[in-house]
Amino acid sequence: MSGHSHWATIKHKKAATDAKRGKRWSKLAKAIIVAAKHGGGDPDQNLRLRYAIDDAKANGVPKDNIQRAIKTGTGELAGENLDEILYEGYGAAGVAVLCDILTNNRNRTAPEVRKLFELSNGNLGSTGCVAWMFETKGLFLVPADSIEEDALLEVALEAGAEDVLSTEGKYEVTCDAVKYRDVSEGLAKAGVKIEASQITRIAKNMVDVTDIDDARRIIKLMERLDDHDDVQSVSSNFNIPEEVMARIEED
């Protein structure tokens, strides 16, 4: 497997249960709350809020939930105080891992996240140890059987995208974060089917993980972190070759 957002692709392949969807919606609502709190409730004046709303809509969050989150952020509705934290660390094989956190209790979240790293032969690192390896980008996953690569490349670049890569039955369209809405609207206007989209952290360079045990540990770490209520998003720079991934999926 090649690509620059391997975890996003693996994660999307897993079945989305109602429980998982509910947890995802909760995290998206938190992102809206924090964005509205810091920049106001008008998405036309608050770029971060606009992106958070776009992300929520792309994941099927109901309009009422979005409006309630905005009002909570602006103080019109009561809500808990959330702190933003970026946790950085290393997984098996020394891969870099970034966790965007929103928590109402730092003293609870830090040891819980540290334990998740340790359970998968990783360790939580110091501030700045791996963040420099990543860039914030817009990411769109498009089914490979829904459009020819050349046609998608033409549409995506015209809309403002930077790159289109093919990986395991999907195309990964990436763009600068400020072009996220333009690319989203451009793809939609051209009738391109988008399976998932988000603003995320993407590694500048990938690390190939060929040892199957290390690969399993990395995937398990990512799953555990992603499942934690306070982890908004998790990113890494690992790349698992197709033959290794096939063996993992057989187990």
Residues 9 and 59 in one domain: no
pLDDT for position 18? 60
The model's pTM: 0.84
Residues 113 and 30 in one domain: no
The two tokens of residue 148 are 């020819």
pLDDT for position 1? 33
Sites in the chain below the pLDDT cut of 50: 1-4, 15
Q: How many domains does the chain have?
A: 2
Residues 6 and 41 in one domain: no
Q: Which residues contact 113 (CB under 8 A, 6 or more apart)?
A: 87, 99, 101, 124, 225, 228, 230, 231
Residues 27 and 5 in one domain: no
Q: pLDDT tens-digit profile of 71-83?
A: 999 999 998 889 9
pLDDT for position 17? 56
Residues 169 and 247 in one domain: yes
In the chain, the amino acid numbered 68 is R
pLDDT for position 80? 83
pLDDT for position 103? 93
Q: What residues make up the domain containing 146?
A: 1-13+82-251
Q: Quickly count: other Cβ atoms within 10 Å of residue 41's Cβ.
A: 20
How far, in Å, are 82, 164, 192 from residue 149 at the CA level?
42, 8, 11
Q: pLDDT tens-digit profile of 188-231?
A: 999 999 888 888 899 999 999 999 999 999 999 999 999 999 99
The two tokens of residue 64 are 């009422």
CATH of the domain at 196: 3.30.70.980
Domain boundary among 74, 98, 121: 74
What is the per-residue DSSP string for 72-123? HHHTSS-----EEEEEEEE-GGG-EEEEEEEES-HHHHHHHHHHHHHHTT-E
**What is the distance between the alpha carbons of residues 98 and 95, in angstroms, rounded to a whole number?**
10
pLDDT for position 2? 38
